[in-house]
Chain A
Amino acid sequence: MSTRTLPLVFINLGGEMLYILDQRLQAQNTSVDNSEKGRSFFTQEQKLLCFRLNMQDHKYFLFSFMGVPHWAAGVWSENDRKRVMSDIVGTMFSKAFMDELLKPQQLYSHRTMKTVLTRLAHTSIMRLNPASMEKLYELMVMAFKYQVYLCPRPKDLLLITYNHMDAIREFVRDTPAVANQVDETHRKLIEVYSPLSEGEFQLLRQTLLVFFQDMHVRVSLFLKNQIQKPNGRFTLTMSGPVPHGGEVPGLIRLLDVKGREVSRHEFPSGGSYSSAVREGSFDLHGDRVLRLGVNMYTMNYPEETHTSRNICAQPDDVPNLLAKEELNLLARIMGSMKTEHVHSAEGSFRLNLFASDQEEEEAGSSGGARDFEVINIQAMQDEQAAAELARIAGQFAEEEVRHEEQSSSKGDELLAMMDDL
């Protein structure tokens, strides 16, 4: 359908990814009372080993490490965090990558998206194994699905995107070069998307809704705020302001041949709507008014990034028949990502979104294998792209290697309690 979805998809999904990573990295730092002390205590080799970033609250985090040397906590310094963010943002908003995304093209499968987003995450010093990436991806997609679904007017998709970009700009404000890239991209988006009509935006939105169709992963933050029901579906309210340009329902007007009103009468609309509020700004800076797309994750709710899968069918289970076209897209996009930012596994930090190694292995064994299959390409015309993709495949293979031992049995009990959520 719409050929203009990719830039918005990547910026919004990428934005959600950064929100989650930022929250996880910050939660990790504040969970230890004396992180400053911890930082100076770590040797370079200790920093290179894998560590846990748990999804549960601070108490559990500390508790689970009672049997483990406490060097495992507090590895991420403020600078590390900022570096992760600016590396990812720098790649995402690089001219080459954006130009590739801005070319008119169809929106492809979740597999392709996941592969490119993993690559994006790996341009930082961070390493995400396939299982963590899977969970992260689900969180990102459900957040974006919610935003697109509740978007008041199709054009407000841009405001949602600009909300993400405003936050991204904040993340990298200490790195002027990257902040400039964000501004440049913003200008390009304004140029490309401003001429689109409301109907074209609705087509774009409908294309995105097909992409999100049948995904009902439950997100604890959404469940808690009651924007999502236990069956995974989002709630819609019959109240609040109507979208900009709309009218509060409830009025029938009859007109004469000259267009003058002859009569008017009201009807019960069932909801309690109010008039539209002022329109948000579509400029480089300004009050967006719309709150969809702002960072929902705060330091107060570390369990927010907990998801549980519903039994509903995952779109990825269906074999992807459009292999050739999608691989070409993948090759082009990968090729346009800056390669100098890719770090080898030795100098990287592993980020684990699961509570325990066991859960990770269980998920990893199935998830990892699936992802590996996708990258198994037979013939590629572009040698460079092929080399890139082969290296990504290699990176996934490295992820299978585990260093850490299992958490204590007490940790398992708590994990079981958490799963009852």
Chain B
Amino acid sequence: MFHKEKNIQIKNSASALYNNLSVLRIAPRRLTYFTVVHANVVNMVSASWDGLNYSHRQLQSKEPNVATSTSLIMQAAFCVLPSRELLVVTSQKGIQMYESDGSIMVYWHALDTPETPTAQAVFARGIAAVSENYVCVGVSSGAILVFDVPSKGSNITLSEVLEEHKESITDIASECSGSQECVANLVTVDDGGSLCVWKSGEEFQLLNKIGGFDISCSSVKLWKGTVVAGYGSGQIRIYEAVTGILQSEINAHARWIYSLDIAPFSGLLLSAAEDSYVRVWHLSVTPETNSVEVAHLHNECVTDTQICGAKFCDGDGYAFAVTGYDLSEIIRYTQT
């Protein structure tokens, strides 16, 4: 179903972090951007569709001052809003927002880091663009920071802080950015496996909270009102967002799941874990009957690699890319 394409070399190896790959397709320029985090650096590669041109850029985590220790980056992700695209980078010290090509930093938000380190680690993790003009970022305390992003310029402001989670945020997902109307358009998950479902607005509204079972949820996606969540146990669970009803449970992987992705136009689901496997599934959701169907389509084994990032390169799921811990390349697959 899929065959391997030529790998893309990156300047550093990927770190073992959840969702450690972000992809942005720039159709007008026939380019795709990839970002992979290595310790305190974000490696960006811009790849032309004809496979002939690759250009690299590296972004460092911002240090409040020179004397402090290096700040490790937890995640880098592209945020696509109707008016603009941003690259958001979260670290131990704060949140940086760049123009999508990484050329200019447009915003910096510092986290409250204590003078002497505390037992509870401090960092930001979990990034998603929501609705017309919001970017949501999770924090280790469990808070979700909601930033209001104007259509251009750097006048980004912190609009709201959502305090519902008790454990560190692991991932955030949204759907219906822009035109569509959705009941629930944001889901946030944490280290304890709790899921919160929200509706965005001037004041975000909590629609549902689904308790965890002390199994960390490392990756989550929202599609057609359905939450797809990947867990440390290697399981994938599918919930109906608004009601919180568990619709499907898949014993998907033998080790911790690190990344999930959905191709919205085709319903293809991608899951990747430390067990070296990337699996492709097909999801179909029938809203009228609130039913979900899952079919397994394909496996790819990346030998001797603990996978940390996997993303589709386009909305149909025609191609996907994979990163692994200690690997200095992005591995790509395309449908045959």
Contacts and interface: CB of A to CB of B under 8 A. Distances in A.
Interface in A1-18: 1-4
A202 interface: yes
Interface string B105-134: 000000000001111110100000000000
Contact of A199 (B117, B192, B245): B192
A234 interface: yes
A236 B305 contact: yes
Contacts of A242: 234, 254-255
B293 interface: yes
Nearest to A145: B326
Nearest to B39: A210
Contacts of A269: 254, 277, 299
**Which of A4, A106, A246, A324 has the most chain B CB within a 10 Å cutoff?**
A246
B255 A246 contact: yes
A50 interface: no
A249 interface: yes
Contact of A325 (B38, B67, B234): B67
B234 A236 contact: no
Contacts of B218: 202
Contacts of B72: 1, 207, 210
Interface in B185-211: 190-192
B259 interface: no
B305 A253 contact: no
B239 to A, nearest CB: 10
B74 A1 contact: yes
A37 to B, nearest CB: 50
A197 B213 CA distance: 11
B151 interface: no
Interface string B246-279: 1111111111100000000000000000011100
A199 B304 contact: no
Interface string A192-210: 0000011110110111011
A210 B170 CA distance: 18
Interface string A270-292: 11010000000000000000000
Interface in B3-28: 12-13, 15-17
Contacts of B123: 1
Given A1-B72, A104-B117, A325-B67, A259 B234 contact: no
A202 B256 contact: yes
A249 B92 contact: no
B68 A251 contact: no
Interface residues of A, number: 59
Measured as residues with beta carbon below 8 angstroms from the partner, the interface class of chain B is 35 or more
B61 to A, nearest CB: 12
A247 B233 contact: yes
A1 B39 CA distance: 10
A3 B301 CA distance: 34
A322 B68 contact: yes
Given A209-B325, A243-B255, A254-B247, A3 B117 contact: yes
B250 A252 contact: yes
Given A198-B216, A245-B215, A249-B253, A257 B290 contact: yes
Interface of B: 12-13, 15-17, 38-39, 66-70, 72, 74, 92, 116-121, 123, 167-168, 170, 190-192, 214-216, 218, 232-235, 245-256, 275-277, 290, 292-296, 299, 301, 303-306, 325-326
Given A252-B295, A253-B248, A257-B290, 5 more contacts: A104-B119, A210-B72, A238-B301, A246-B255, A251-B250
**Nearest 9 pairs of A and B residues by beta carbon:** A199-B191, A267-B296, A199-B216, A247-B251, A209-B16, A322-B69, A251-B251, A3-B117, A104-B117
24 contacts: A3-B118, A4-B119, A154-B256, A197-B167, A197-B192, A198-B216, A210-B16, A213-B13, A213-B325, A214-B13, A216-B326, A236-B304, A238-B275, A238-B277, A248-B251, A252-B250, A252-B251, A253-B248, A255-B246, A267-B296, A268-B296, A269-B277, A270-B301, A321-B66
